[in-house]
Every structure is written in structure tokens, then in C-alpha cells.
Amino acid sequence: MRKTDVCVIGGGPGGLSAAAVLAMSGKDVVVVNDGVLMGYGIEGAFKSKSEFEIVRQYLQNHFRPEVFGESTPPSWQHVREGVELASAGLHTTLLDRLERLGVQLIKGRGEFVDTHVVRVGSEQIRAEHIVIATGTTPRALPGISVDGAHIVTSDEVMRIESLPKSLVVVGGGVIGCEFAGIFASLGAAVRLVDTAERILESEDPDVAEFLATAMTVMGVEVMASSRLESMEVVDGVTRTTLVGGNRLESEVALLAIGRTPCTTGLNLAAAGIETDDRGYVKASASMQTNVPHIYAVGDVGMRATPVDMALVHVAQAEARCAAHHILGRPSEQSMDHVPYIIFTLPMVAGAGMSETVARERYGAAIRVGKYPYGRNHRAHAMGAPLGFVKLIVGPQGDDRILGVRCIGRDADSLVTAASIMIERQLPYSYLLTSIMPHPSLMECLQGAAHIISGDSLSFEKGEEYTFDKLRSR
């Protein structure tokens, strides 16, 4: 039997982050991993973002024909080659880092024997502490067979052999919207189906409406308030039938309807580990399960907090939190300020509370400053004056920044500074007196602050600029 200080089950972003912190602190660490190192962190999240970057570079030229001339989308083969090259480079650096840290990698599927022992095949590992970091897998639906060619999930869509002429995306959340934009930009006829009244329902209505308009102009047929009834492949054609009888035919259909925790096969009962009714491992603020020396980090864990976001950087933050607790220097991780990026076209990014949540919590007295890209010099210089920044501040007497939302080119560059201000509970007035570099998109954030303070013209609907730039076909 192998003995170690810490056994990490799962070599995804959370598992590797915990392993790195513990190894750097002198702990003997074993990582058990079944599949590709970093898991969906590379195979899904990273590869889809790599696709996004390729498409974004193409669109930047495509929407400026007066400079670059007429352009055509890159071939699917070249896109895939670019994505694989990028992911191979990242994988190499990860292996090198783990080797330098002295972390032991064991290939295989881990399962609990008891509260301290994990079995991998015929080998058993005894550890003082165990970290569960097995992540999630795409959710499937009864009666629908995912074949990897005609009906795919976010796992298989990265591996399809050729660009489909037509694609039906079922699910208008983050993953569905991201892939809809990518495939439409490359030339596929895309229909985006969702049961909710609007796509990207987790976002404020103005952000979701702006994205839906942009996607429609780019050629995506957005079908909100549409419920899936069945899906089948007939003579090589995928037939998606909606409640009410509407039938959509396409070459490929993508199911993007959420994810489920990878806990089947872990034999959690042998260690007495509790899960919720969906199979997520219950975890405390310090990432401990009900068995104190066993932790759950990343998507597989469910914390009893108002916000528990399934993001790579959240998994890594939770992993550091668990590692520090194991090392005897606990520090709880606040999730009230977590910045995030949605790689749609145009991009969405945010941090802190949405306007909707802020109004629910603080009432109508909150203050909102909305600043359009159309007023920003840098956005015009980039040929992309399309979008807006929204700063959300407490009621009079409470100048804290509660949240920020952005939609537009390089929206991610705007949320990091606001995220730090939210975490530190700094007043928005800091933005009023700061000197921002010019020209930069950061001036949009400052402009939103000036609107709140009343010394700049308020936003008027339509000022987020024309969508004509997106009319590519």
C-alpha cells in the first residue's frame, strides 16, 4: 500500500491547483486522474476559448473590409489544428510543472475504500487528507442518444470532423451561446433554442437583449420560449422536435443543457461522504466535507453559499482554500466579487452583483451608471464601438461598488479592477479621481462612474451604437 500526505482525486484545474500549493509547502502529494490532464479545463473550457480567439481574430479583419479587404472564414481543419497546437503547448507546461513540484501522477479511476484509503485498480493509497476534484460531465436527456457525430455535447463538439452546414443548439446558457456564436461566424446556419423567455437568462435583461440582437444580426436564429420534445437521427439528418410540433432539421445538434457531478464510481458511501439530491458533494466554506479530512473543490462540490460558480478560476481558488486549511493556515474564500467572462460574440463579462440581484437586495434606490462604447475613443480606434459598461453602486450614503457588467469587445479587460474594488469595498468615487490611460476601454468604467455622480450625460437607449458592423452575410 502506498502512503502519502495528500491524495487528490481528479487532475482538473481544482485538483492540480491544490496539488501545487501543497507540494510547494513540502507535502507529499499523489494525483489520481482518469483521462486527459486538466480534464474539461483543457478539453472543453480551454479549447472552446482557443476557438473563440481564432474566430475573434478573423472577425476583427472581416468587419473592416475598408482596411483588410474581403475575407472568408478559416477552414474548420485549420481551426482544429490551431486549437490542438495551443492545447498541446499548455499540456506540456503542466506536465513539466508537476514534475518540478514532485507531484506523483497515477493514471486510473479512484474510489474510496474507507475514509483514508483510495483504490486505483489493484493499488491502494493511504492518505492523511483527500481532496475530491472530479468535476462534472455534460448533462444528457433520457431517450436521446449522443453519438458524437450528429448529436453532441460540449465534449464531442470539439472533435467533430467537419464544420456542419447547419447546427441546432439546445440550451441558451453560457455554453450554448458561446458555441452558437463561434459556429455562426465560421459559416454554419445556427438555430439557438432555449426554454426561457430570453437567452442567457442568468444575466440582466439589457445584457441578454443586447446579445440576442447581436447574434440575430450575425445570422443566428434565436428561438426563446421553445421546449425540446425529442431528438433523433433519421437518414443522417438530425431532427429536433419542439413542444407544439415545430421540427428543426440540421446536420448536427448540440445539447448544452447543463452539467452533472462526476461522483458515480467514487464509492462515496464507503467514506460516509454526504451529497445533495443532485449528487454534488456538500462542502463547507473551507471546502471540507462532512468527513473533516476529506475536501471537495471545483464543480463537484456544492458550498452552502449564495454564490457557487462553476468556473476554472473558482475551482482553483477553492483548491487553494482547501490546501491552506490542510496546511493549518485556513482562509475562507469570498465569492461575492468573482469576475467572469462569457466568450460570446460580443463578449460579456462581469463581477459582483447583477443589477437584478442588487435591486432585490437593496431596493430601487441603488444607482446604476451605463456608459456606451460609442463614446469611447479606443472602441472607435478598434473599429468596434458596439456595447456598454454598467456600474452598479449602493443607495445614497453607500458608495460601494456592488457589481459591474460589460458587453462588447475586450469586455474582460474592464472587470478585473472593479472586482478588486468590490472585494475591498471601495467607493466608486475612486474612479472619479483616478487618471485612466487614454485611449483605453478603462475610461468606459470611469465614464459610468461619472454618470452616477451626475457630472456626465446619462445613457440614452440606442447609444450603444449601431449593429451594422455585425452584418457579415
Greater confidence (457 vs 187) lies with 187
391 to 31, 248, 337, 365, 375: CA distances (angstroms):
42, 40, 13, 14, 16
> What's residue 470's pLDDT?
59
Quickly state the pLDDT bin for 416 (edges 50, 70, 90). confident
Q: Is the pLDDT of residue 473 over 50?
A: no
Extended strands (E) in 45-148: 104-107, 110-112, 117-120, 123-132, 136-138
Q: Is the pLDDT of residue 417 over 90?
A: no
> What's residue 331's pLDDT?
79
Average pLDDT over residues 195-201: 95
157 to 12, 170, 194, 224: CA distances (angstroms):
20, 13, 18, 22
Quickly state the pLDDT bin for 384 (edges 50, 70, 90). confident
> What's residue 305's pLDDT?
60
Q: What is the dihedral of CA 296, 297, 298, 304, to 10 degrees?
A: 70
> What's residue 458's pLDDT?
82
- How far apart are alpha carbons 423 and 434 in whole angstroms? 18
Number of neighbours of residue 399 by Cβ within 10 angstroms: 18
Least confident of 39-43, 73-77, 344-348: 39-43
Q: Is the pLDDT of residue 187 over 90?
A: yes
> What's residue 311's pLDDT?
85
> What's residue 393's pLDDT?
97
Q: Is the pLDDT of residue 387 over 60?
A: yes
Quickly state the pLDDT bin for 40 (edges 50, 70, 90). confident
Q: Which stretches of 190-289 are DSSP H helices?
A: 205-217
CA nearest to 465, candidates 346, 350, 368: 346
Q: Is the pLDDT of residue 333 over 90?
A: no
> What's residue 3's pLDDT?
96
**DSSP H or E segment with residue 241:** strand 237-242
Q: pTM for the full model? A: 0.93
How much is the mean pLDDT over the chain?
Answer: 92
Q: What is the pLDDT of residues 93-110, one digit of tens each?
A: 999 999 999 999 999 999
In terms of DSSP bridges, do strands 281-283 and 301-303 run parallel, antiparallel, or are they unpaired?
parallel
Q: Give the domains, in start order, of the chain with CATH numbers.
A: 2-138+260-326 (3.50.50.60), 151-257 (3.50.50.60), 346-470 (3.30.390.30)
Beta bridge partners of 112: 118
Q: Which of helix, strand or coil describes residue 127?
A: strand
DSSP label of 264 = T
Quickly state the pLDDT bin for 310 (edges 50, 70, 90). confident
Q: What is the pLDDT of residues 442-455, one digit of tens each?
A: 999 999 999 999 98
